[in-house]
Structure 1
Amino acid sequence: MSGNPRLDGVGLTLAYERRIVAEGLSVAVPDGSFTVVIGPNACGKSTLLRALARTLRPRAGTVLLDGRDIHALPSRAVARTLGLLPQSSVAPDGITVADLVARGRYPHQGLLRQWSREDERVVAESMAATGVAELADRPVDELSGGQRQRVWIAMALAQQTPLLLLDEPTTWLDVAHQIEVLDLCARLHEEQGRTLVAVLHDLHHAARYATHLIAMRDGRVVAEGDPREVVTADLVQEVFGLPCRIVEDPETGTPLVVPATRRPRLPDAASRVVPTA
């Protein structure tokens, strides 16, 4: 991880019509990181990601991609550098896995460059990397939630962008599929050197997978840095209003949040006194 940001938000005011979500918000995504944004509902996480992805124009401030205003760059140039997996992705009815993944190659085509063997290779490699190659001819709408999410990630991979943004990629997935998708993201980061930015709700997942953590509340950044330094009992209390203690994850050594109990602990069976007749 070089640490030098390729994607920055500087002095951002983000809003939907009259509702202001954030003012004066600044973030920098370290190049080569797996950055995860956490925070309570409606704190501005997904809004920030939309601004970074150029799907929401800031009221004020600037999003910089490689030092240039992202809104001043041609759309095709942005699409070759930055990929986005939105929170809700809907595939066209009846489209197959291979055809959907192939749509990731559109930014690389134009009037003088049509579909090529290189495109075929990239699509095949993207499906293999995400474990969906054997599903190539299956309609996307027949797949399980975990399979569909891997197909959408394969499409984003086919764009061959060095930056990939994922908005709540584990939403609606059971815990096994959540780990499957996050393990895939970790491999993309570690093996292919991609810079990932993901919005997650689960603190345990965020602490386990992130190399750089951004904690938000009320449209502002409360803390950021290495998860081992950011995830503290005080931080969780401040951001989520949750009393807790932090222990070490026995599998990874990363912070594990243990919520404080809100009721007296019941004695275990061995310690109960059973009255005799």
Structure 2
Amino acid sequence: MTRLRANDLTLAYERRTVAEGLSVAVPDRSFTVVVGPNACGKSTLLRALARTLKPRSGTVLLDGNDIHTLPTRAVARTLGLLPQSPIAPDGITVADLVARGRYPHQRLLRQWSGEDERVVTEAMAATGVTDLAGAYVDELSGGQRQRVWIAMALAQETPLLLLDEPTTFLDIAHQIDVLDLCARLHQEEGRTLVAVLHDLNHAARYATHLIAMRAGEVVAEGDPSTVVTAELVEEVFGLPCRVIPDPETETPMVIPAVRRSATV
């Protein structure tokens, strides 16, 4: 039994249906990446898995239970979410924002503890933001802010972590930094990660399990080495291409075909 799965979901926003009959099982201890063209339902699926969007029908199961029947704190201690473009409260410091990740572990008779302090310190060290502890979040660069948000998610200490386009708006160096960090969380700590990514080459390089979506449906899933083919890329993205081994990792690498203009 996988810890997180979606069974026969219908997902919609008011009158617009995004997906029907959508089922996904997230392999335990995987780095699962969801790819697909814009508006195919990737982020909507992630929101449903994170309990921030309730399905019109179907069920999201967390440890075998309907996620919408579980207490909020219980879910927050098991599953963390880094949404798209999160907004920090005005005037909050890095240390204070990361500390908010410990809120699910607080109770009436258990307030801030030495354990909380240790976890926050380790989360900031793991993401390389220790030196920014006293800085205001709204004064940081995009790459620094993203690392701080990931540190907050780490401080939550959840075995499952969902990330919605964590590399958006970052330059290439910071994109790789964030994805390397995610890979370390998966490999060294055994966390299950689910991320939505736009860059297919990044997805193929980092994912252990790849889900390709189009028009609210799962078109293919599995190991990137078997999923990422020229035929699939053209089917899902409408992009003629070649797929070759990445010279650094031997994972699939998509090379778009040259679009030749008609000669006069």
**Whole-angstrom distance in 2 between the partners of 1:149 and 1:5:** 29
Residues 1:250 and 2:247 aligned together? yes
Local SS of the residue matching 1:206: helix
- 1:26 aligns with one of 19, 23, 33: 23
Please state how far the C-alpha of 1:169 moved relative to its aligned partner. Answer: 0.2
**Whole-angstrom distance in 1 between the partners of 2:165 and 2:2:** 22
Task: Quote the residue 2:35 is aligned against.
Answer: 38
**Whole-angstrom distance in 2 between the partners of 1:183 and 1:154:** 14
Task: Quote the residue 1:261 is aligned against.
Answer: 258
Task: Quote the residue 1:108 is aligned against.
Answer: 105
1:227-238 map, 5 Å? 227-238=224-235
Q: For structure 1, which runs of at least 5 residues remain unmatched after alignment?
A: 265-277
Local SS of the residue matching 1:5: coil
Local SS of the residue matching 1:205: helix
- 2:168 aligns with one of 171, 179, 196: 171
**Whole-angstrom distance in 2 between the partners of 1:113 and 1:179:** 38
**Whole-angstrom distance in 2 between the partners of 1:140 and 1:235:** 41
Local SS of the residue matching 2:77: helix
Please state how far the C-alpha of 1:28 moved relative to its aligned partner. Answer: 0.3
**Whole-angstrom distance in 2 between the partners of 1:136 and 1:192:** 24
- 1:93 aligns with one of 82, 90, 93: 90
- One-letter amino acid matched to 1:222: V
Q: Which runs of 4+ in 1 moved over 3 A?
A: none
**Whole-angstrom distance in 2 between the partners of 1:251 and 1:245:** 17
**Whole-angstrom distance in 1 between the partners of 2:181 and 2:72:** 27
1:1-277 map, 5 Å? 4-263=1-260
Please state how far the C-alpha of 1:94 moved relative to its aligned partner. Answer: 1.1
Local SS of the residue matching 1:26: strand
Please state how far the C-alpha of 1:56 moved relative to its aligned partner. Answer: 0.1
Please state how far the C-alpha of 1:23 moved relative to its aligned partner. Answer: 0.2
- One-letter amino acid matched to 2:85: S
Q: Deviations over 1:132-176 (max 9, x none)?
A: 011101111111100100000000000000000000000000111
Q: For structure 2, which runs of at least 5 residues remain unmatched after alignment?
A: none
- One-letter amino acid matched to 1:94: G
Q: Deviations over 1:73-94 (max 9, x none)?
A: 0000000000000002001111
**Whole-angstrom distance in 1 between the partners of 2:213 and 2:43:** 11
Local SS of the residue matching 1:24: strand
**Normalising to structure 1: TM-score of the pair?**
0.93
Q: How many residues align?
A: 261
Local SS of the residue matching 1:197: strand
**Whole-angstrom distance in 2 between the partners of 1:150 and 1:188:** 13
- One-letter amino acid matched to 1:120: E
**Whole-angstrom distance in 2 between the partners of 1:39 and 1:5:** 23
Equivalent pairs: percent with the same residue?
82
**Bigger Rg, structure 1 or 2:** 1
Please state how far the C-alpha of 1:7 moved relative to its aligned partner. Answer: 0.3
- One-letter amino acid matched to 2:28: D
